[in-house]
Structures are given as C-alpha cells and as structure tokens.
C-alpha cells in the first residue's frame, strides 16, 4: 500500500543518515545482510589529503541489537618523499659578474607524485641565484635535474638555504648553497712610478705591466684622480681602459708632461675594475719639475 511504501522510504532515509561517512575513510559495503554462521568482508579505504595522523570511530548498527559496535579506524598520511642529491652544495669560489652554473638532482623516492615549486628567496645573495626549472612534477621514482645559476655583483661569503614547497607536505625540501664571490685576481709589476727630475713642458714616460692571474677575462680602467681636466691634464695613460684575457698581460704606458714647476707628491695611478670597484689598487707616482736657472 502507499502507507507501507512511505514507511519504507522513511526507513531508508533514516538509515542513510546513520551511514558511516568521513572525508578520508570509506567502507564498502556500507550495509548488507549477514547470514547465520557466515561472514562478510568489509573494505576500508583510506584517502589522506595531508601528512598527518588520522583517527575516526565507525559504528556497526545490528538490527535488533540495542547497542552499536564501535570500530576505531586509524591511519597515517604519508606525504611525497622528495630529496635533493645534496643537503649542502659548496660551490667554492665564484667570480663577480660571471655566470656560474651547477646541476643538482631532485629525486622522488616515494610512490606518490611530487608537485614542487621554489619559494622565492628574499635575501641579498639569494636574489643572485636562478633555478631551471623552478617548479614541476615528478612521478614516483623519477629524477629532475635542476640547473642552478649564479651571477653576483656582490662580493663576499654566502650561505643561502633555498626552500621548495611540496604539495601535500607540511615540510619544504631545502637546498643549501655556500661559497665565496670574489673579484678578478691580478698582478702589477711596479710599486711606484718615479719620473725623477723633469723639464717643464717635456714628455716623460714610465711603463708597468698588468697581468690577469684568474681564469676569466678582466676589464680594467686607469685614472689619475689628482690630475687636472681638459687641456691642462698632465698625465696620460695608454691604454686607459681595456680587457685582458685569462693569463694575459697588458703593458701600460704613463706619459707625463709637467705644466707647473713643483714637486709632485700624493699622485697615484688608480686601477678601476668594473663591478668590483674603483681604486682597487693604486700605484704612487713621483716627479719634480724644474727649469734652468739663469744668471
């Protein structure tokens, strides 16, 4: 009858409301009939959505029994297992203004897919690094080669820890890079340029050699800070600027034409290296301009 069908529908709705339901655990079958002297297999499926412990209580409602049977269901969610081939990578010496590259491996040692992305660094040295790729996907057991690029215009020691966010994991994967950024190395074969006694208005020259002792090209510039400007300039450097290949040498000629009778003290030939700094080395210069005495 219609009344019986209505009661059956209401009973089904009530049973559905009492069915076990959880975001991370599910049971199949959720209901059924257990015949005398028999058993039934119930499959509990665990679907964690984060790396943590899970616990929930399910209740078995037996028709005709006054009390429900509690069943405690527990599980631990394991996140993706991603690691770098290095915990700490010491890159040693890196030259200022030069692009250096290094390769590291990001390994997925678990069975869960890994979605990774670099957390942008905020430190001074951290901003000098680049990573390719800086985000991606790794299937279980897969390895991704990540190219690390360093180009710094800041000198000094660095120890930078870069964090990589892993989807589904509360703890990021870390890669630490250490090293030292230095400028080009060089040698100057003169400690002082002494022009001695010079006649007024005559040209005198001195030479020195600048040697690039590092493994990268070195740009340079020479200047005499205390010299005059324009046509009154007394010191001329040839070449005033240029570039020396690794292991190369550059002969530098300093021409001096005095425009005043005096003793020249406190004059230096200053070496500038782009990016590294101005006046990174100074060679003192001495001279005394004299004129004939008439009597």
The domains of the chain, with CATH numbers, are 2-76 (no CATH), 82-182 (2.60.40.10), 186-290 (2.60.40.10)
CA dihedral 253, 226, 264, 211 (to 10 degrees): -30
Choice among 13-27, 88-102, 181-195, 264-278 with the minimum mean pLDDT: 13-27
Q: What integer best gives the mean pLDDT of the chain?
A: 88
The rounded distance, in Å, linking the Cα atoms of 244 and 220 is 8
The rounded distance, in Å, linking the Cα atoms of 265 and 48 is 80
pLDDT tops 60 at residue 10: no
| pLDDT tens by residue, 28-52 | 888 888 888 888 888 999 888 777 8
Let me know: does 195 contact 286? Beta carbons within 8 Å: yes
Taken as a whole, the chain contains a residue count of 295
The rounded distance, in Å, linking the Cα atoms of 41 and 50 is 28
Tokens of residue 22, six digits? 């959880």
- Chain centroid to Cα 234, Å, comes to 48
| pLDDT tens by residue, 109-137 | 888 889 999 999 999 999 999 999 999 99
Confidence of residue 8 (pLDDT cuts 50, 70, 90): low
User: Which of these, 195, 257, 248, lies nearest to 220 by C-alpha position?
Assistant: 248
């Amino acid at each position: 009858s219609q009344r019986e069908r209505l009661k059956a529908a209401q009973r089904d709705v009530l049973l559905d409301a009492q069915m076990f339901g959880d975001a991370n655990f599910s049971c199949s079958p959720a209901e059924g009939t257990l015949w005398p002297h028999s058993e039934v297999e119930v499959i509990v499926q665990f679907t964690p959505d984060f790396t943590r412990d899970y616990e929930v209580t399910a209740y078995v409602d037996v028709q005709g029994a006054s009390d429900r049977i509690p069943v405690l269901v527990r599980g631990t969610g394991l996140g993706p297992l991603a690691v770098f081939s290095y915990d700490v990578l010491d890159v040693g010496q890196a030259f200022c203004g030069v692009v250096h590259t290094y390769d590291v491996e990001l390994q997925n040692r678990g069975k869960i897919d890994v979605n990774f992305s670099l957390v942008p660094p905020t430190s001074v040295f951290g901003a000098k690094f680049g990573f390719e790729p800086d985000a991606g996907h790794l299937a279980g057991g897969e390895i991704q080669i990540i190219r690390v690029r360093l180009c710094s215009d800041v000198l000094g020691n660095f120890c930078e820890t870069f964090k990589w966010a892993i989807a589904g994991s509360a703890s990021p994967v870390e890669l630490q890079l250490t090293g030292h950024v230095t400028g080009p190395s060089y040698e100057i074969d003169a400690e002082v340029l002494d022009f001695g006694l010079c006649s007024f208005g005559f040209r005198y020259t001195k030479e020195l050699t600048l040697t690039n002792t590092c493994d990268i090209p070195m740009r340079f510039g020479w200047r005499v800070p205390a010299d005059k400007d324009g046509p009154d300039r007394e010191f001329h450097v040839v070449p005033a600027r240029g570039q020396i290949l690794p292991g190369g040498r550059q002969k530098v000629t300093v021409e001096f034409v005095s425009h005043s009778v005096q003793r020249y003290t406190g004059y230096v030939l200053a070496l500038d290296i782009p990016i590294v700094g101005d006046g990174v080395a100074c060679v003192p210069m001495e001279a005394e301009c004299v004129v004939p005495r008439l009597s």
